[in-house]
């Protein structure tokens, strides 16, 4: 079942989401939400989707960066972004530690702000401690584009959107980005 993705301006996107207990995580309700979020993320398509983006103020996000999403990027773009496929996984109640300063800047978009992009500085490397979809502890060390995805989705769980971190003069429509920036 596809879920409605809420857009910027909806108050749920600006609230700190609540944590889930291991028992809640294993519940049929949360397992169903994870399945629906995965389907919604794929349909969008996107590389991450946080529960607040579907109107649920919960510290839960799904992430997957499929190889097929890389097909329109050059080898040079993939290398400069350090972008590699990331298999599907769930992060719940994540705590993030930046292992580098937030000084790597690339354009980002967001499913809750459709049709727009901006340059956002992010840390090149992060460590995330979280629970997985079974409520088991997990530590993720990520770099490059994967680190960017994690930072973006975890921001959603704390009521932040990329526009809070963007270089404001780079804010553009997707159409103008494709026409002017990707040359």
Strands of the 172-173 sheet, one edge to the other: 104-108, 116-122, 172-173
Encoding tokens for residue 79?
A: 């290398």
Count the alpha carbons within 13 Å of 58 in the hemisphere toward its beta carbon: 21
**What are 80's two structure tokens?**
């400069």
DSSP type of residue 149: H
* Catalytic annotation, pick one of 97, 108, 153, 175: 153
Decide if 74 contacts 83 (C-beta within 8 A): no
Find out whether 51 and 12 touch, Cβ atoms under 8 Å: no
Name the residue among 104, 119, 106 with its Cα closest to residue 172.
119
CA nearest to 116, candidates 48, 168, 171, 52: 171
Nearest to 94 by CA among 54, 53, 50: 50
108 is catalytic: no
What positions carry a catalytic annotation? Answer: 153
């Amino acid at each position: 079942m596809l879920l409605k993705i809420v857009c910027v301006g909806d108050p749920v996107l600006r609230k700190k989401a609540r944590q889930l207990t291991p028992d809640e995580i294993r519940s049929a309700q949360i397992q169903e939400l994870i399945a629906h979020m995965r389907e919604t993320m794929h349909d969008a398509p996107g590389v991450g989707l946080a529960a607040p983006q579907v109107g649920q103020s919960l510290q839960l996000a799904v992430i997957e960066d499929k190889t097929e999403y890389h097909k329109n990027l050059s080898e040079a773009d993939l290398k400069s972004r350090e972008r590699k496929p990331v298999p599907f996984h769930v992060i719940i109640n994540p705590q993030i530690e930046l292992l580098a300063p937030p000084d790597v800047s690339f354009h980002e978009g967001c499913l809750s702000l459709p049709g727009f992009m901006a340059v956002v500085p992010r840390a090149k490397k992060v460590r995330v401690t979280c629970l997985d979809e079974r409520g088991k502890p997990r530590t993720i060390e990520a770099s490059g584009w994967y680190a960017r995805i994690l930072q973006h989705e975890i921001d959603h769980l704390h009521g932040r959107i990329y526009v809070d971190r963007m270089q404001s003069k780079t804010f553009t429509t997707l159409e103008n980005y494709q026409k002017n920036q990707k040359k």
